[in-house]
Amino acid sequence: MQSDSPIGLFDSGVGGLTVFHELSNLLPNEDLIYLGDSARLPYGNKSPANLLQYANECSSFLLERGVKLIIIACHTASCYALESLKKTLPIPVIGMIPAGIELIQQSNFQNVALLATESTIRSNVYQRALSKQNPSIQVHSVACPLFVPLIEEGLSHHGLTQLIATHYLHPLKFQSIEAALLACTHYPLLQQVIQEVLGPSVQLLKPASRCANNVRNLLLESGLAKQSTKKASKVFFTTESPKRFATLANLFLDLPIQSSDIDLVALPTNKLELNKKFKYS
């Protein structure tokens, strides 16, 4: 394991690019490899067994590319696979859960909303961790299953999204919440509409930058921070159409990405030949 090796991140689609974005800003020198498993999106309604399998396959793919650290840039996969990957992988693994918990802990909120996918809510991972830390905390869990498909369809600013957000979140207006944790890496793209529905007094907590901080600390503590001054490389892989990935990625990142910058892969990797045969762009 070399300090000059890249950092690997994965998510079900483009959502984890919110973490990629924070990482690139905080650690501009580090080489990054992003894998968006868009062929199997959404992760948010999948079973524990499938989520563990997907996380194992994404991690193996990144390991084969020689990464020094893996970030599960997906709350759903973190809930089901973080502990297992930490035990089985030969390199450090960072998930999204600690970042979310730390944000609530540091602000000392007592009444919070947890906005996440169905599988994340069902795992009870956040609720357990938050009440362990503060037994009197009130957590209002709201699954928002249509948010990810709307974002991946490029409809973040569509009136339909406003309606759906109101449908999911309006009941929270009567709970006097102080903050809402955006516990899905896609959700920062709906920040504006979520804030409008919840009102200006509710603080939106976005764990991506905290996660990037945790990565920086881990790299420094473990002597894994990149030493070389060579320009950082950013590499993207997707398991579905690179063209679609590029269009969406440009909404998440400052840097322009072309579909030619993104490689199509298949998981498990032996499906790749089939994909090439059909020349799916």
* Cα 175 to Cα 169: distance, rounded to the nearest angstrom: 11
Q: Tokens 């991506």, residue?
A: 208
Whose CA is closest to 110, among 126, 130, 93?
130
> Residue 146 Cβ, how far from ligand DGL at the closest point, in Å?
10
CA 202 to chain centre: 22
Contacts for 143 with CB less than 8 Å, ≥ 6 apart? 116, 117, 118, 120, 121, 168
Alpha-carbon distance 124 to 79, whole Å? 9
Residues engaged in binding ligand DGL (CB under 6 A): 11-13, 15, 41-44, 74-76, 117, 120, 148, 184-186
103 versus 148: smaller Cβ distance to ligand DGL:
148
Comparing CB distances to ligand DGL, the nearer of 6 and 44 is 44
Complex with ligand DGL: residue 67 or 81, whichever CB lies closer: 81
Q: Which of 58, 74, 144, 211 is catalytic?
A: 74
Residue whose pair of structure tokens reads 């002597």 in the numeric block: 223
Catalytic residue among 58, 79, 184, 211: 184
Cβ contact 118:132 at 8 Å: no
Give the amino acid at 197: V
User: Which one, 15 or 242, has the nearer CB to ligand DGL?
Assistant: 15
Rounded CA-CA distance 36/264 in Å is 10
Q: Which residue is nearest to ligand DGL (CB)?
A: 44
Place of tokens 């037994």: 135
211 is catalytic: no
Catalytic positions, written as ranges: 74, 184
